[in-house]
């Protein structure tokens, strides 16, 4: 007999709900809008997973489980490496087909991805001006502010190094500690951790570049759909007051773990 309460694949994954969440705005529907929505939703699911891993990494480091933290940094990197092929799916769309529904998306923009911003905050990029973008959504503001109250991943690593006897009070001491770790084979666990961290950071930077190139390929130098939001939240002055591809260009040098990069020069 069929047991009504028996678990099914669709029930476990909530497929009925999941598959009802793609709601194109174009009418009659533009063929490409569905993939546009699905690619974005996929990213947001991965961002959710990444935040979950970030929290687990923090807990592992707080209890000195370095290799577990290292393994999860490798997972973060593996997720980021899914991003570039995902953008390739978008790039199978020609600009004119995108433009057929792009105006319907204004003023929404990936710029308003609160999970992306939370991930940046968790990884150490803490520009609080981004919180203002969400002021109409107090739940999101609370969430971002809560994240800002927590130590960033690098701070957690540094606290761990301090417990292990390294001098880390200044940035130059932190660089020296990293150089010492790389030179000492007995520190293989910490070296593996640092390598997993920089590999994640490197691939995230490559994703930023690919997203920029993809955006330029799609919209050239047109203003981004989030132009008004960006101008409102970040002001007109300075590199972040720009918009569209120009704004994305200004984000390319962002690094989550700048000390790890700087230590390279001193090795």
Which of 33, 243, 259, 260 forms a contact with ligand HEM (CB under 6 A)? 243
Distance of CA 169 to CAs 47, 251, 253, 259, Å?
Answer: 32, 28, 25, 13
The closest alpha carbon to 197, from 57, 64, 59, belongs to 57
Residue 190 contacts ligand HEM per CB under 6 A: no
Q: What CA–CA distance (Å, rounded) separates 206 from 195? A: 16
Residue 46 contacts ligand HEM per CB under 6 A: no
Q: Which of residues 142-181 bind ligand HEM (CB under 6 A)?
A: none
Residue 116 contacts ligand HEM per CB under 6 A: yes
Smallest distance, ligand HEM to C-beta of residue 258, A: 16
Residue 256 contacts ligand HEM per CB under 6 A: no
Identify which of residues 62 and 84 has a Cβ nearer to ligand HEM in the complex.
Answer: 84
Identify which of residues 162 and 222 has a Cβ nearer to ligand HEM in the complex.
Answer: 222
Query: Contacts by 172-178 with C-beta closer than 8 Å and gap 24+?
Result: 174/259, 175/259, 175/262, 175/263, 175/266, 176/266, 178/259, 178/260, 178/263
Which of 80, 140, 244, 257 forms a contact with ligand HEM (CB under 6 A)? 244
Residue 119 contacts ligand HEM per CB under 6 A: no
Smallest distance, ligand HEM to C-beta of residue 244, A: 4
Which of 58, 60, 72, 109 forms a contact with ligand HEM (CB under 6 A)? 109
Residue 226 contacts ligand HEM per CB under 6 A: yes
Residue 259 contacts ligand HEM per CB under 6 A: no
Determine the longest span between alpha carbons in the chain, in angstroms.
70
Identify which of residues 75 and 243 has a Cβ nearer to ligand HEM in the complex.
Answer: 243
Residue 133 contacts ligand HEM per CB under 6 A: no
Identify which of residues 78 and 89 has a Cβ nearer to ligand HEM in the complex.
Answer: 89
Smallest distance, ligand HEM to C-beta of residue 74, A: 22
Q: How many residues bind ligand HEM (CB under 6 A)?
A: 25
Residue 218 contacts ligand HEM per CB under 6 A: yes
**Which residues bind to ligand HEM, rule: CB under 6 A?**
39-40, 43, 90, 98, 109-111, 113, 116, 211, 215, 218-219, 224-227, 230, 243-245, 247-248, 251
């Amino acid at each position: 007999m069929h047991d009504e309460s028996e678990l099914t694949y669709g029930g476990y994954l909530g497929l009925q709900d999941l598959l009802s969440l793609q709601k194109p705005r174009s009418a009659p529907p533009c063929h490409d809008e569905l993939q546009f929505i699905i690619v974005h939703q996929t990213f947001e699911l991965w961002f959710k997973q990444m935040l979950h891993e970030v929290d687990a990494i923090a807990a592992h480091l707080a209890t000195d489980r370095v290799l577990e933290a290292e393994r999860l940094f490798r997972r973060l990197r593996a997720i980021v490496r899914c991003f570039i092929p995902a953008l390739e799916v978008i790039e199978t769309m020609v600009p004119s087909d995108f433009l057929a529904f792009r105006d319907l998306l204004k003023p929404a923009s990936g710029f308003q991805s609160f999970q992306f911003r939370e991930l940046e905050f968790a990884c150490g990029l803490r520009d609080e001006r981004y919180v203002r973008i969400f002021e109409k959504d107090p739940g999101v503001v609370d969430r971002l502010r809560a994240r800002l109250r927590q130590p960033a991943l690098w701070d957690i690593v540094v606290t761990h190094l301090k417990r292990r006897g390294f001098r880390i009070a200044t940035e130059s001491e932190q660089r020296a500690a990293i150089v010492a770790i790389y030179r000492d084979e007995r520190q293989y666990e910490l070296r593996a951790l640092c390598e997993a961290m920089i590999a994640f950071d490197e691939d995230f930077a490559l994703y930023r570049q690919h997203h920029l190139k993809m955006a330029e390929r799609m919209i050239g130098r047109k203003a981004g759909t989030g132009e008004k939001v960006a101008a409102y939240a970040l002001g007109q002055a300075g590199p972040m007051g720009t918009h569209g591809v120009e704004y994305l260009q200004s984000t390319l040098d962002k690094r989550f773990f700048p000390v790890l990069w700087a230590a390279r020069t001193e090795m």
